[in-house]
Chains A and B, each alone.
Chain A
Amino acid sequence: MDLVAGWVQESLLLPALYAAGLMEWEDIAFGWALFAVYGAVQVALTFAVCLPLERWRPVERWPDAAAVWVDVLYTFIARVGLLPLVTFVLFYRLQTALNGALTDQGWVPPTLERLIPVLFGHPILTFVLYVVILDFAEYWRHRLSHVFTWWYSLHALHHAQRQMTFWSDDRNHLIDDVIGFAFATAIALLIGIPPLQFPLLVLVLRFLESLSHANVRLRFGWLGERLLVSPRFHRAHHGVTAAGLVSVNYGAVLPWWDMIFGTADFSREFVTTGDPTAEEALATGGFFVQQWVGLRRMLRG
């Protein structure tokens, strides 16, 4: 994959940047190429594993699965195209500008390893700790998106899907994604985020998030479901009775935070998904219609 990213960078991106007079971005472009290639592999891997699972033991069968196609578009935007680009241009610039401003005041932002020196020289252990911290932060970001009415108005787009599949993970309002990036920036300032160092592990984590949305009757067993978020566990979060300002099972990869903070519900079997309070356009509309309706809903409060 690294070689493919290198090829994309050398054969496609660099000549394009050169032609566009944007060669000053060539270093950052490699990060984008790497993420885009890993993103494409994520999509391919998820498709190769989850599609047979969904065909094998589906929770639901739909005569017409047209509503799924917009989720496919969301996935490609999030994993291959727009969002990796946003990450490596906007996010990178924002992070470095904030870091620079802090450095100007004489404070060099730390890294997790500098805060916990025993982690020096143990990159895998460090990454595991990053995963735990980031998943903890993601639990609270997600939970808060269900607390505030305006925020849930955006997040309702994610919940409105009645035909939930492995493609649904990236079905988000773009403003919701921007808030997510701002949240990640804040954490990056506190502990640093090293995703480029571990693209393979990031790939596995993103796969797990996609799998948790899959339309498949899959349990991880009593213990397994308390270690990792399973499709059954996360489906309870997408259930019609869990949509809105009070929900359960907010965890993305680890169910631990739900268990600790009292929001875990392991009792629900494979429930019906969707948000009965959301406009029909959020469930079955096209990409732009969904974005517009989500924005309008947020502005109306």
Chain B
Amino acid sequence: MFKHIVVALIVAVLFSANAEAGGSVLVMNSSAASLSVIDIDSQTEISRIPVLREPHHWTLTPDNRELLVGDTVANEMLFLDPVTFAVRRRLPISDPYQLGFSPDGKFLVVTALARAQVDIYEAGSYKLVKRFALKSMPSHLDFSPDSAMVFISLQGTDRLAAIDLRKMALAWDMPVGRAPAGVIWHNGKVLVANMGSDDVAIVDPRDGRVTERLKIGKGAHTLFRSPDGRQLWVNARIDSTATVLDPKTLKPVRTYKLPGGPDDLVFAPDGKVWFTLRFAHKVAVLDPTSGNFTTIAVGRSPHGIYLNPLGRATK
């Protein structure tokens, strides 16, 4: 009898250790006013957190202690515990769509796509430092590593804008291609995925000139760098593909077909890549080696996705 109890206890401890090690994933269901919490080990949605309107994207505070999720239509920023996903506080902020902290941790930059404005907040106090009216549809953003510049795609006017964060002034605003979306700083250049065409534009960050175009696939949308820096991923919405680029040559290495509108993605410690599938209302978990993927049903129009390997998902 005693032996059985000991075995049961060991199994329970191991199980709970695995659950913690596996971590959890948070999905922003943009048309369902909710956040789905998924347990990585069991690959099941274990809870759904209600929010007000349209959660789209997230960022971590520079100290990694808070997870910010923007709810655009509600004009609200949610501050979550990045491990348990408990909502700690809410802050009224105008139309927070994409958001990111400058690498030096001084500023939070928020694009308001629907309101054609970009807001620069002081990190920590979240006081508005400067508002830029940028036409139109300011969408994705990324920073130069020295925090001097932030680059913002203007989806509605086919342009990329650069804001000088030291002078708090618009540095330039240049055409880059039809309906630009994803932006990423890469090896001294800025890469911009153009949704309205089939390419990624390589832009000189000094003046905004397009120096080269990479053919990717129709509806190129988002750009991500793998944690080890060995891969660049580009998702295309019309072709429903995810393409891996060699970061040195920027040549396509492999393309995965992911029906359902692959949008944002996140890299898991086990090497798998998690995607939101906007139109299938699912998350795809791709094994890049085999190319196989499984899907998990979530809320309507899942957009942003965050993974915490240490996250202890609770029901």
Chain A interfacial positions (CB closer than 8 Å to B)? 2-3, 5-7, 9-10, 14-15, 18, 21-24, 26-27, 30-31, 34, 92, 96-97, 99-100, 103-104, 108-109, 111, 113-114, 120-123, 192, 194, 196-197
Residue in chain A with minimal CB distance to B198? A18
- Given the interface contacts A10-B279, A30-B279, does A24 sit within 8 Å of B137 by beta carbon? yes
Q: Given the complex, which residues of A lie within 8 Å of B92, measured CB to CB?
A: 108, 114
Whether A100 contacts B116 by the Cβ 8 Å rule is: yes
Seed contacts A6-B279, A103-B94, A123-B33; 14 additional CB < 8 Å A-B pairs? A3-B280, A15-B238, A18-B218, A24-B179, A26-B237, A30-B278, A30-B301, A31-B31, A96-B114, A96-B115, A108-B92, A122-B50, A196-B31, A197-B33
Query: Could you tell me the distance in whole angstroms from the C-beta of A118 to the nearest C-beta in chain B?
Result: 14
Q: Given the complex, which residues of B lie within 8 Å of A113, measured CB to CB?
A: 52, 74
Instruction: Name the one of A15, A100, A121 contacting B115, with C-beta atoms under 8 angstroms.
Output: A100
Q: Given the complex, which residues of B lie within 8 Å of A22, measured CB to CB?
A: 196
Query: Could you tell me the distance in whole angstroms from the C-beta of B206 to the nearest C-beta in chain A?
Result: 26
Residue in chain A with minimal CB distance to B303? A27
Question: Chain A binding site: helix, strand, loop or mixed by DSSP?
Answer: helix
Query: Could you tell me the distance in whole angstroms from the C-beta of A122 to the nearest C-beta in chain B?
Result: 8
Q: For residues 241 through 293 of chain B, which have their beta carbon under 8 Å from a beta carbon of chain A?
A: 259-261, 278-281
The answer for the CA separation of A207 and B261 in the assembled complex, in Å, is 32
Residue in chain A with minimal CB distance to B301? A30
Whether A103 contacts B196 by the Cβ 8 Å rule is: no
The answer for the CA separation of A25 and B93 in the assembled complex, in Å, is 23
Q: List 24 A-B contacts (CB under 8 A).
A: A2-B300, A6-B279, A6-B280, A7-B279, A23-B178, A24-B155, A24-B196, A30-B278, A30-B301, A31-B31, A34-B31, A99-B75, A99-B95, A99-B114, A100-B114, A100-B116, A103-B95, A103-B115, A104-B117, A114-B74, A114-B92, A120-B50, A194-B52, A196-B54
* Tier of interface size on chain B: 35 or more
Q: Given the complex, which residues of B lie within 8 Å of A109, measured CB to CB?
A: 75
Whether A111 contacts B52 by the Cβ 8 Å rule is: yes
- Given the interface contacts A6-B280, A7-B279, does A24 sit within 8 Å of B156 by beta carbon? yes
